[in-house]
Structures are given as structure tokens and as C-alpha cells.
Amino acid sequence: MAPKLLTSAESNATLEELQQELNRLQRKVRITIQTQLASITGRSLGGLAENRELIASIQEVLEGHGLRIQCAECGHPAILRVSPRPGSSTGVFVFDHTLDGRRTFHGGGSVVPAIKLVAKPPRKKRRRAAG
């Protein structure tokens, strides 16, 4: 007996349903992470190294779920970093991202900024060197 053939309409419907379910689950994950991270907004650890470790751990979680933090200044997807700054023993929290092809840092506060999560943008294809 020959196997029952799958129609194009059936396969499209199945894949569309799957994509809707994945989108729902991804939204729930994003909201859960964002809600948990809200508890550290406006706070800081005791030193530069500790703050860097905290942010590195957060970025690892976000990377695993294809997420970025939305820059509070311009709204673009960004990576949160902690940079040293003279006069600040704990460093400053900055949004690291690219605007118009240039690396940009926004922010600079001494405490964890409000965190709103957005999807990680697709990687840009690198130009091939002429040659």
C-alpha cells in the first residue's frame, strides 16, 4: 500500500500552526526574562568586576534566546556592558550597538538601567574582499 501523500495546503497549515506556537512560546520566554530582570533595575553590585560578571551572565541568557536589550536612548537592539569610568568604582552601564555602521555607546549610568527585551537582529553579511 502506497503512503498517503501530503498536500501542499496541509504542509503549509501545519508549518503555520507550528510557527504561531513557537512565536507564543518565545514571547512568554521574553516576558519571563524581562520580568525577572526588572528586580535588578536601578541597582548595582559593589564593584566593576562584579557588575561586569552580572552583565556577562545576563547577556549569556539573552544570547541563548536570541534576545537583545533595547537601548533606552535610541531604541535599537543593544548589548548591555559595564565600562570603567574615572570616579566610579562600580563602572557605568552602557548600551553597545551599531548605528549607521559605527559602534555606539549610549547610557552611562551607575545602576542597571530599565531592561526591555527585543529580538536579536539578523547578522549582517560581510562584504567579500575584492581580489
DSSP assignment of 66-106 equals TEEEEPTTT--EEEEEEEEETTEEEEEEEEEEEETTEEEEE
pTM beyond 0.85: the answer is no
- In which domain, by residue range, is 20 found? 12-119
Residue 13 confidence (pLDDT): 95
- CA-to-CA separations, 55 to 95, 108, 109, 124, in angstroms, rounded: 11, 14, 14, 24
Q: How many domains does the chain have?
A: 1
Residue 129 confidence (pLDDT): 60
29 assigned to some structural domain: yes
Question: Does residue 78 contact residue 106 with C-beta atoms inside 8 Å?
Answer: yes
Say how far residue 24 (Cα) sits from the centre of its chain.
18
128 assigned to some structural domain: no
Q: Encode the chain (131 residues) as per-residue pLDDT tens digits.
A: 788 899 999 999 999 999 999 999 999 999 999 999 999 999 999 899 999 999 999 999 999 999 999 999 999 999 999 999 999 999 999 999 999 889 999 999 999 999 999 999 887 776 666 55
124 assigned to some structural domain: no
56 assigned to some structural domain: yes
